[in-house]
Structure 1
Amino acid sequence: MADHSLAHRAQHQTPTETVHLPPSTPPTNHGKTVAAWTTTWTIVLGALVAALGVAFALVWMFWVGMGVIVLGIVLGKVLQVLGHGQGGAATLAREKRRGGH
């Protein structure tokens, strides 16, 4: 009886398997950019305000929170276009100053 265990298959790959690697090395910042952090924390703040609006039954506070969320999305996109996103000029310059990470 042939051994078809996971360990056996990991050690003895079949010749028909193809490995698909990315064409280049992914960025080293893992998305830790000014645009990403600004977007994330603005959306979190907006969600908190909207949640408080729901909890206290204040419709206006809910909509203010939703507005802050939309503002965060727009602000993040603007920062990305200005070069503060992944692969942007400002991000690459900051990585170069800090040694690549």
Structure 2
Amino acid sequence: MTDHSLAHRAQHPTRTETVHLPPSTPPTNHGRTVAAWTTTWVVVAGALVAALGVAFALVWLFWVGMAIAVGGLVLGKVLQLLGHGQGGAATLARARRRGAH
């Protein structure tokens, strides 16, 4: 039987871990981009409209809210593809204008 206790593993390391550093410094905006904020607020607005549809028992209003939420997801992806997302050209240019690294 093999000893798999914590003390045994601490005294007898069996392998080493390889550390892989990123090729460059990651963006410093922590995901606060135009695409992210637009997606978030449009989806929240759609969810609010859908919730009102459920609260007032209006099926059509629920589906309008769901369409708004899905539209927000599509809009966010389009903004990301246009460079307004994390690491995008527009986001990097905006960070340079604001003096970020």
**The TM-score by the shorter chain falls in which range?**
0.7 to 0.9
Separation in 2 of the partners of 1:88 and 1:44? 24
Residue 15 to residue 74, structure 1, CA distance change in 2 (3 Å)? same
Question: Which amino acid is the alignment partner of residue 91 of structure 1?
Answer: T
Question: Which amino acid is the alignment partner of residue 97 of structure 1?
Answer: R
Instruction: Tell me the CA shift for residue 91 of structure 1.
Output: 0.4
Deviations 1:36-69 (A, max 9, x none): 0000110011011111111111101100100101
Q: Which residue of 2 aligns with 1:90?
A: 90
- Taking structure 1 as the reference length, what is the TM-score of the superposition? 0.79
Instruction: Tell me the CA shift for residue 99 of structure 1.
Output: 1.4
Separation in 2 of the partners of 1:35 and 1:21? 29
> Secondary structure of 1:62's partner?
helix
Q: Which runs of 5+ in 1 are unaligned?
A: none
Instruction: Tell me the CA shift for residue 27 of structure 1.
Output: 1.6
Q: What is the CA RMSD across the aligned residues, in angstroms?
A: 2.4
Moved over 4 A (4+): none
Q: Which runs of 5+ in 2 are unaligned?
A: 1-5
Separation in 1 of the partners of 2:93 and 2:69? 29
- Find out whether 1:23 has 2:22 as its counterpart: yes
Say which is worse superposed, 53-62 or 22-31, in terms of deviation. 22-31
Aligned length: 95
Residue 48 to residue 18, structure 1, CA distance change in 2 (3 Å)? same
Q: Which residue of 2 aligns with 1:53?
A: 53
